Amino acid sequence: MDKVLFITDTYKDLNIKKDTSILMIEEAIKHKFNVFQCEINDLFVKDGIVYASSRNIISAGLTQVESILKEDLKVSDFRFSFMRKDPPVDENYVNALHLLGLAEKQGAIIFNRPNSIKEFNEKVFALHFKEYIPHTLLTSKINKIESFFESHQEIIIKPLDGMGGASIYKIDDLNEENISILNEMTNSGKTQIICQEFIEDIYDGDFRILIIHGKPFQKTLARIPQGGSFKGNLAAGGKGVAKDISDFQRKVGEEIGNFLIKKGINFAGVDIIGEYLTEINITSPTCAREILDQTDINPITEYFQKL
């Protein structure tokens, strides 16, 4: 039985009912893989060989998780390894990518490819497709942000390494409080952040399009802000509603998918608001479970069928 490895956050902290990584583990078990799991700090090198101290996952149902103690296994001995650690892509994350890159040279097959995750920051990645993005400024300088605000009057600011709607702010006034936020986020002009014009279509949903082996999946998840918030992220209280993919979303998804597959990125999440591309997520894209629950169509089944 072929072994596969999932590199995730601490297993006990994963949401059994919602996490896409858990859905992937369940699907791998259905496909008769011998499934193992570890965290990034379980990766190590001995005598030049990359190992993972891994836990064998026997089952991963909605109500229980069973496993046995960790054992040291060569990463190159797994049929596939799946890097599913959530951001931030900090020093420890990047160091893990270095080790996984070495493991690739030893024969490991890793998705998404470590070098591509290092190359493409998720917030910056969308800039490669500038014809689809809203007006965007990436800078650390407060005066440039102030000028950008004057041009648009309503802007969104967010860090380069955030996720789940954390530290995202809507600026509609350059008052003392918001200037303080800008100073804090830019570390007084030393740290770059993303600034984008505010898109009113967010209230109709921030659409997640899953890109599976280079192709956009037929169902999307509209993450709709609730309670007066502008954040559609599910982690920030947004409501997920599964919908058929639109012609525009399919067009953008296909174009991005063609680029991704050439980079060894076979599972990604593209975020679209109205007719604007806002992010391309390649670290640990989510929303597959919500799509399955609402449509009875499983994106992860398609993913494993084409591995």
- Cα 307 from Cα 304, distance rounded (Å): 5
- 22 CB neighbour count, 10 Å cutoff: 24
Does one domain contain both 186 and 212? no
pLDDT, residue 66, reads 60
Does one domain contain both 180 and 213? no
206-212/215-216 β-pairing: antiparallel
pLDDT, residue 15, reads 84
Residue 34 maps to a domain:
yes
Please state the pTM of the whole predicted model: 0.93
CATH number, residue 99:
3.40.50.20
pLDDT, residue 53, reads 98
Does one domain contain both 244 and 205? yes
Tokens linked to 93: 């994350």
Does one domain contain both 22 and 90? yes
Strands (E), the chain: 3-7, 34-38, 43-46, 49-60, 65-67, 71-74, 80-83, 110-111, 136-139, 155-159, 169-171, 193-197, 206-212, 215-216, 219-224, 239-244, 267-273, 276-281
If one counts the domains in the chain, the total is 3
pLDDT, residue 165, reads 59
Tokens linked to 48: 């030049």
- Contacts of residue 76, Cβ cutoff 8 Å, sequence gap at least 6: 49, 50, 103, 106, 107, 108
Closest by CA position to 303, among listed 20, 15, 17, 18: 20
Write down which residue in 150, 168, 197 finishes a domain. Answer: 197
Q: Check whether the bond before 187 is cis (ω within 30° of 0).
A: no
Does one domain contain both 278 and 236? yes
Strand partners for 59: 66
Does one domain contain both 242 and 295? yes
277 backbone dihedrals φ, ψ, rounded to 5°? -80, 130
CATH number, residue 298:
3.30.470.20
Positions of the chain with pLDDT under 70:
60-68, 163-166, 232, 236
Does one domain contain both 251 and 174? no
Does one domain contain both 221 and 150? no
Domain encompassing residue 139: 135-197
Residue 117 maps to a domain:
no
- Asked whether the beta carbons of 134 and 279 are under 8 A apart, the reply is no
pLDDT tens per residue across span 149-203: 999 999 999 998 876 556 889 999 999 999 999 999 999 999 999 999 999 999 9
- Note the helical H segments in 106-243: 114-119, 122-125, 142-152, 176-185
pLDDT, residue 190, reads 95
Does one domain contain both 177 and 266? no
